[in-house]
Amino acid sequence: MRTPRRSTAPLAFVVTAGPTREFIDPVRFLSNPSTGRMGFEVARAAASRGHRVALVAGPVSLKTPKGVARVDVVSARDMLAAVLSRLDDLGRGPVRVVFVATAAVADWRPAECAAVKLKKGAMRPVLKLVRNPDILKTVAERRAAEGAAPLLVGFAAETGDPVAEALRKCREKNLAMVVANDVTEPGAGFGTPTNRAALVRRDGSVRRLPLMSKAALARRIVRECEDLCS
């Protein structure tokens, strides 16, 4: 199947994928079930359409898509540093930059990480947490201050009303679009080859998509990014 011709000049994509891990000690950590498949498909779709792609991946076991420059990270702070570095590199050129944040980033991390494995008797029943940086919000604020804000696309993997949460994220974080889905729906949660999503733009428009493969959804997301940049 031939790839449709894109309608815009080549873009530069920075894509995050997978979970992050926040360690309690060298063998225990807080994380989530994200496999990274959605982000890898977005990176693959963007590269297949001739865009330059940097993929910042949390701990996953997926092969790097052809034509994609991959950086592996572990924690939320690692991911933020890698994203800012890639955006700085890409922002120096004339190409429009798109940041697609598909990663399921841990909102919290342990206040302390023990240097050695904690024995059962030494562990406390209450774990003190501190908030991790909000990667999308940080990128929006820093890049806007520098006068080089990329097109920002977020994801909202929710339960209940994902569209309402997507609209909130768009407006509070100044995002161009949020891809929203209800992870409790059959075929739309973590680790599945399919997804059922709604594309929510900052202007309040909502495009509800049927159940489709993550590869097909990724191609749709990339085309939406091209449209937003045209």
The catalytic site residues sit at 32
Phi first, then psi: give them for residue 159, nearest 5 degrees: -125, 150
Question: Parallel, antiparallel, or unpaired: how do β-strands 194-195 and 177-182 relate?
Answer: unpaired
All residues at 6 or more sequence positions from 63 whose CB lies less than 8 Å from its CB, including other chains: none
Yes or no: say if 129 and 163 are a contact pair by the CB < 8 Å rule.
Answer: no
Q: Can you say how many angstroms the Cα of residue 167 is from the centroid of all Cα atoms in its chain?
A: 17
Across the chain, where does the E strand assignment appear? Answer: 12-17, 22-25, 28-30, 52-57, 68-72, 97-101, 108-110, 129-131, 151-158, 177-182, 194-195, 198-201, 206-208, 212-213
Yes or no: say if 64 and 19 are a contact pair by the CB < 8 Å rule.
Answer: no
Structure tokens belonging to residue 30? 């807080």
